[in-house]
Amino acid sequence: PGDHQYISFKQLHEHVCRFANILKKHGVSKGDRVTIYMPMVPEAAYAMLACARIGAVHSVVFGGFSPDALAGRIKDCDSPYLITADEGVRGGKTIPLKANVDKALEQCPDVKSVIMITRTGANVAMKTGRDFVYEDEIKTVDANCAPEPMNAEDPLFILYTSGSTGKPKGVLHTTGGYLVYASMTHEYVFDIQEDDVYWCTADVGWVTGHSYIVYGPLANGTTTVMFEGVPTYPDASRFWQVVDTHKINSFYTAPTAIRALMREGDGPVNSTSRKSLRILGSVGEPINPEAWLWYYHIIGEDRCPIVDTWWQTETGGIMITPLPGATAMKPGSATRPFFGIKPELVNADGTVLTGAIEGNLCIADSWPGQARTLYGDHDRFVETYFSTYDGKYFTGDGCRRDADGYYWITGRVDDVINISGHRMGTAEVESALVAHPSVAEAAVVGYPHDIKGQGIYAYVILNAGTPPCAELEKELVQQVRSEIGPIASPDLIQICPGLPKTRSGKIMRRILRKIAANDFGNLGDISTLA
């Protein structure tokens, strides 16, 4: 926890140029794909920016992924170059990154060069002629590297996102539009001021880390914080200690982290000051009102607006969001579209719905940050995003628009349950369950029901120290009945110690649906399972 370093823009420029020259020395040129499999250390950002400087296309693979998942992503984009570290450090534990690379490359004989950064100094295997130590290589190159001229539509990066079926999708973003959109959304959504210190707690292995740790903030000349660790190590006040130490003004994290910290109570928060905080943000999934209120009242002490942002890997940047100080907030609502974004709600037939209503969320017109294709599979790109509703980008999310024109994301469309002909978003039921004082987290899925077509199956994690009992299950059913109505009453409640999540913290409801339906043999792509 005591380790930190400050890097100026001048120092960053030199690091990036030297790293770019290392890549050139190893034969990397414009258009080549470079896989980055790194912990959350500054060299991860140097590597990304070094690729951008010479026109190479980076493909960052989250450092928590398995050797098989890494190999699949290397092969899919035909990447001959890889950047990694000896080990990662997370929550007091080491992650054997180089060992994972060695195992993955047994399936990838075409990889020519591996550049390894020394993070822990662990004794790792090195293959002569293929593996090179970054600290040795950097001594052999100079600090000047002219940037490669790029067209606006030249590829900047590929980032894999898991598909509900089949292999992961290599989402491709381009140079001009993506950078315009990442920088603009970062500036306006977080009301960035000249001397702000901004912290997004994501990992660079996810799009949030690309857009709102590296590209957006640095394009705006903002001081951006990179954090290697977890919110609860060595204790549950770690985030707020970092906020106090580095005088963070804007803080951007995920609902799953907020719920994990909320579970530990107010004590770890109240042991810190957090006076520097000005804006709080939420990203990754809809935030339930209970967690929103805790975030607002306890973390922000009723003085920091919350920007509850909705967007996707494919959108490149934030699409629906409050603007701090300008948009009246509603707990759990992403509120209104960002400038130029045209959301539409449509029904199953594609009819555009007006007024206060619920439907499938589409985007009706283009925006600068949108993905241009899936690498090597444009047909799948068209099929996945543009074939469901003609002329529109289909997000795959369900959404409700209220009478004030505010948007409420109800979850993935495949997270909508149809009970006796009534459509219900799982997020609503989950919020009702989490509103119970004994519940830390909940996930709700539909399962086959002989009478209703679909029943409601609720997986519930209790707060620390709360014992499960039949009486509590009755209370939870009653809680949902009173919050939503009898139609939403859970048919089955399973108290469980944890939930299957992606490594970015999203609950993998697809797996929970399979379990609820007793379909254990067909779990689909689980390469992103933490």
Q: What is the mean pLDDT of each run of 10 residues along the chain (530 residues)?
A: 91 98 98 97 98 98 86 95 96 93 96 98 97 98 98 97 69 98 98 97 94 98 96 93 97 90 93 98 90 97 98 96 97 97 94 96 98 96 94 94 96 71 71 92 88 86 91 93 80 93 81 87 69
What pLDDT does 224 receive?
98
Helices 426-434, 470-483: inter-axial angle, 10-degree rounding: 120
Three-class HEC string of 215-257 = HHHHHCCCEEECCCCCCCCCCCCHHHHHHHHHCCCEEEECHHH
The SS3 of residue 407 is: strand
Three-class HEC string of 361-389 = EEECCCCCCCCCEECCCHHHHHHHHCCCC
What pLDDT does 420 receive?
58
- What sign does the CA torsion over 140, 146, 151, 156 have? positive
Contact 227, 200 (CB under 8 A): no
What pLDDT does 524 receive?
67
Cα separation, 183 vs 220, whole angstroms: 6
Closest Cα partner for 401 from 429, 361, 363, 364? Answer: 361
Tokens of 216: 């957006």
- CB atoms closer than 10 angstroms to residue 38: 26
Closest Cα partner for 156 from 25, 258, 34? Answer: 34
Q: Which residues pair with 407 in a beta bridge?
A: 335, 401
Cα separation, 42 vs 39, whole angstroms: 9
Helices 9-25, 42-54: inter-axial angle, 10-degree rounding: 60
What pLDDT does 324 receive?
97
Residue found under tokens 């896989």? 35
What pLDDT does 342 receive?
98
For 396, phi then psi, to 5°, come to: 85, 0
Distances in Å between the Cα of 23 and the Cα atoms of 87, 141, 331, 403, 492 are: 21, 10, 47, 54, 55
Question: Hey, what domains does the chain have and what are their CATH numbers?
Answer: 9-145 (3.40.50.980), 171-411 (3.40.50.12780), 420-517 (3.30.300.30)
Q: Which residues pair with 422 in a beta bridge?
A: 419
Amino acid at 207: V
The 8 Å CB, 24+ separation contacts for 431-434 are 431/288, 431/289, 431/290, 431/332, 431/483, 432/479, 432/480, 432/483, 432/484, 432/488, 433/458, 433/460, 433/476, 433/479, 433/480, 433/490, 434/259, 434/288, 434/290, 434/291
What pLDDT does 506 receive?
79
The SS3 of residue 193 is: coil
Q: Which residues pair with 343 in a beta bridge?
A: 363
How buried is residue 526: exposed, middle or buried, by Cβ count under 10 Å (0-12/13-18/19+)? Answer: middle
How many Å from the N-terminal Cα to the C-terminal Cα in the chain? 23
Query: How are strands ordered across the β-sheet holding 453-462?
Result: 439-449, 453-462, 492-495
